Amino acid sequence: MGAQTVVSDVADELARRVATGEYAPGDLMPSVRQVAEEFDMNRATAQLVLGRLESYGFVDAHRGRGFTVRDVRRAGGVDVYRRLFRLSMHAPEMAAEMFGNIVAAERAIVLEALLDYTAAERGIEPAVLTAAVDELETQARSAEPDHTRMLELEAGLVRLVLTDLGHTMQRAVLNSVGEMLFEVPKAVEAYFAVSADLHVLVWRALLAVWESTAGPSQAQLALFEDLFAMYHEKVLARFDELLGKGLDSAVHRQSASA
């Protein structure tokens, strides 16, 4: 095992302890000597580990004092949240809470984008969208659908829509959400709580609306929003199942609507 792999693995273990509260905000992190002794490494490598944790945004360095634990959940940015989510798989309650917030952010961006695009003067060539949905259907109909690829295709479709609408900030947030999801296989799997074929049917219906000159009725839009909400409820419930737990769904409804 290379030195960089050792540094990454030990830094992830210490970050996991921060993420799960084993090391509380404001606590003094183990010293270079303590890290070296616990993980059977030399002090130079232990120093690299603590430096890596600082680059992650999990600790702050203080000359003469060592490293103290940051309040990562309160003060951390998107990159910190992404690492926290990946490491939270060892703490199901925390993982479920974070996934609920991720889904809520994704749902708000995607729903707004699809509804806005329905009402806008659309600039994307229909053939471009159709080709992506065709590939989505090919995946859905395969013996073993590649859910990661399917989610990438769906994210790509929404990214096209956001770009056409000029919603660049929402696109950046969606990209960050995607990075979080793709690092956690259970999160990707949860997005297919309903049949992969249903994903294709929804996109085909959207394409039909976008290609129509009449546009959807208010009743159709309301139905779409209701179906969208129910779909995400199933995603949250599926994530609980994959974590091997059964949280009260009301907790998720609160997170998703926050």
* Span 153-199, pLDDT tens digits: 999 999 999 999 999 999 999 999 999 999 999 999 999 999 999 99
Residue 256, pLDDT score: 44
Strand-pair partners of 196: none
The CA angle 115-172-197, to the nearest 5 degrees, is 50
Residue 247 in this model has a pLDDT that exceeds 80: no
* Helix or strand holding residue 186 (H, E): helix 185-190
The stretch 114-127 carries a mean pLDDT of 92
Q: How far apart, in whole angstroms, are the C-alpha atoms of residue 92 and residue 96?
A: 6
| Per-residue model confidence (pLDDT) at position 91 | 86
pTM: 0.84
Structural domains of the chain, ranges and CATH numbers in brackets: 3-75 (1.10.10.10), 79-257 (1.20.120)
Query: pLDDT for 217-238, tens place per residue?
Result: 888 888 889 989 999 999 999 9
Q: What integer is the mean pLDDT of 46-72?
A: 92
φ, ψ dihedrals at 62, nearest 5°: -130, 120
256 closest CA partner among 116, 77, 109, 108: 108
